[in-house]
Amino acid sequence: MLTLLFVIAAGVVCTFAGDRYHPEQYMEPRTEPVGRLLRSSETTTQFWVEDAQAALRQRHTDGLRHRSGHARNVVMFLGDGMSVPTLTAARVLLGQRQGQTGEEANLAFDKFPTTGLVKTYCVNRQVADSACSATAYLCGVKGNAGTIGVNGAVPRHDCAASTDAARRVQSIAEWALADGRDAGIVTTTRITHASPAGVYGKTANRNWETDADVVNAGHDTERCPDLAHQMIHKHPGNKFKVIFGGGRRAFLPNTTRDEEGTRGRRTDDRNLIEEWQADKAARNVSYKYIWNRAELAELASSPPEYLLGLFEGTHMRYHMEADPSTEPTLAELTEVAIRSLSRNERGFFLFVEGGRIDHAHHDNFARLALDETIEMSKAVARAAELLDEEDSLIVVTADHAHVMAFNGYSPRGQDILGTNKDRDRNGVPYMTLSYTNGPGRRVQDANDMRVDVTQEDNFGALRWRSHVDFPLSSETHGGDDVAVFARGPHHAIFTGLYEQSHIPHRMAYAACIGPGLHACSAAHSLRGSLLAALMLLPTLVAALRSFF
């Protein structure tokens, strides 16, 4: 039986610190030979805010402001690692599941009226991680890899630097709350993972999810509280009306097991789930903590004011491997979140992440990555059904790419998860989808003959690993631009190619929240100009009559 090569060359083996999908060895600086070429202003908040606002003013001048009204509600969908090849391949798989050749199919957001591209690099890396990218697309400022909610003046691991208020940045959720709107998070990862943490967290290290992580790094949890603590006790997390995801272990002491037997990871003997419940009781508001699909269904029609749903000890399971009796789908979570948040007449901001696309790619599990993308598409479709396009903006994007490639010259309808009709120069079949790197490397013989992967016993299984070019313990992100799709009020401002940090400023423009230019003020200025023109009309007519 053919086997994968799991013995990785010396110098490539990694010990997984904090997150096995994102080994710190890949993210840590070795040398910074080009650091002196960076503009020092990029480490400031002002640089990125001014950059985004200048682009917005140009859009305003170009006439993209003329759609009336503003976005009362904003829903941002984030496909973690949802590269353009991932979108294309998922679209084909969706079509093939429906009995089509596949290429002609569409994901739910493919027909949104506006598309664009964004640059995903962070201040100190060509290729972003999910932490610095979250700071960009949620806070409008680019930071360093591994940091969340702080600007580029905060190096990774620097607890002291992250406590400087001038280096901290606000998320669009904070802007929404300040305007009297509600906010919420839905994710298939741990709620303390990098992407969702960008909605509420301020930290010098994305891996500081529990107090134990902070202490083990040699820091004081009072000075630099962990992300789970921030979610429950700090602004803005403690104001969120909906919190859905995985990661119970970060909220429970290590002397306790959760509902499914996973041991907690906290060493401070605190049960943050109980503390969340106590806080809501003290505020005399309705609330509910849930941990399974049945409990979600029970309250779907009449949810309480505050909802905390933690459905796994760690990340939620891949959709194709989940137990449907306990684990809800992303679409189901999205629907309950929208129904709950919609009770606020002023509106809401909701962040929804299909987070396990990224994890499947890191393991070279192409089938799972594409299925997770399709599941996110279903969630987008559900949101589009529930929300009025006239007052609700939906934005769909990714944080970064991956190194999955779409190969060959296959005929229409070829199985997207199968082999190409062509062969390599040695006559060995190759996959339509493959990866540049990752754990799926196979042994080649002395004649440079590749393994015929179609002969492997588990070929085509859910966790069959696609072939890769060079071995790593975890596949890496890609530096490609990623797509943006938008529909709703002022969707046209999302066209073009721009920095990822522009995204929250454009959402805020459409929703009339946060600092900077707003569609509301722009519309007011436009109405004023029209009124002024109408007032001058009689004078103009009189002048024309006298002329003729």
Nearest CA-CA partner of 504 in 65, 118, 164: 118
Q: Which amino acid is at 516?
A: G
Supply 134's token pair. 């979250």
Supply 227's token pair. 């992300």
Q: Is 362 known as a binding-site position? A: yes
Q: Is 400 known as a binding-site position? A: yes
Residue for token digits 């003959």?
Answer: 449
Nearest CA-CA partner of 93 in 347, 372, 503: 372
DSSP class of residue 195 equals H
Strand partners, 225: none
Contact yes or no for 364/312 (Cβ under 8 A): no
Supply 28's token pair. 């840590």
**Beta pairing class for 482-487 and 114-119:** antiparallel
Rg (CA), the chain: 25
DSSP class of residue 226 equals -
Residues shown for the chain: 548
DSSP class of residue 237 equals G
Q: How far apart are CA 442 and CA 523, in angstroms?
A: 60
Contact yes or no for 173/349 (Cβ under 8 A): yes
CA angle 81, 85, 89 (to 5 degrees): 105
Q: Is 358 known as a binding-site position? A: yes
Q: Is 353 known as a binding-site position? A: yes
Q: How far apart are CA 468 and CA 402, in angstroms?
A: 13
Own/partner pairs, 92-98, CB within 8 angstroms, 24+ separation: 92/416, 93/370, 93/371, 93/374, 93/416, 93/417, 94/374, 94/377, 96/413, 96/415, 96/416
SS3 content of the chain, % helix, strand, coil (to 5): 35, 20, 45
Nearest CA-CA partner of 484 in 170, 122, 87: 87
Non-local (6+) Cβ contacts of 55 within 8 A are: 498, 499, 502
Nearest CA-CA partner of 369 in 269, 462, 246: 462
- HEC string for 277-321: HHHHHHCCCCEEEECCHHHHHHHCCCCCCEEEEECCCCCCCCHHH
Q: How far apart are CA 7 and CA 472, in angstroms?
A: 10
Catalytic residues, by residue number, are 130
Q: How far apart are CA 229 and CA 368, in angstroms?
A: 32
Instruction: Please tell me whether residue 342 adopts helix, strand or coil conformation.
Output: coil
Contact yes or no for 362/474 (Cβ under 8 A): yes
Instruction: Please tell me whether residue 25 adopts helix, strand or coil conformation.
Output: helix
The separation between the first and the last C-alpha atoms of the chain, rounded to the nearest angstrom, is 95
Q: What residues form the annotated binding site for Mg(2+)?
A: 80, 193, 195
